[in-house]
Copies of this chain bind each other. A is one copy, B any other.
Amino acid sequence: MKRIALDMDEVLADIYAKFKFYFERDLGWKPKWEDYAGGKIYELEGAKHIRDYLYADGFFADVTVMPNSQKVVKELVEHYDIYIVTSAMEFRNSLADKYDWLNAHFPFIHWKKYVMCGDKSIIQADYMIDDHVRNLKTFDGKGLLYTASHNVNNEDYTRVNNWMEVRAFFEKELAKDGIKL
A residues near B (Cβ < 8 Å) are 3, 5, 83, 85, 88-90, 92-93, 95-96, 99-100, 110-119, 122-125, 140
Contacts and interface: CB of A to CB of B under 8 A. Distances in A.
A89 B110 CA distance: 10
Nearest to A119: B112
A100 B113 CA distance: 23
B89 A96 contact: no
B116 A116 contact: yes
Given A90-B111, A92-B100, A95-B96, A116 B118 contact: no
A interface: dominant SS:
mixed
A127 to B, nearest CB: 12
Contacts of A116: 88, 95, 114-117
Given A89-B99, A96-B93, A112 B122 contact: no
A96 B92 contact: yes
11 contacts: A85-B122, A90-B111, A92-B99, A111-B118, A112-B119, A113-B118, A115-B116, A122-B125, A123-B123, A123-B124, A124-B140
A116 B124 CA distance: 15
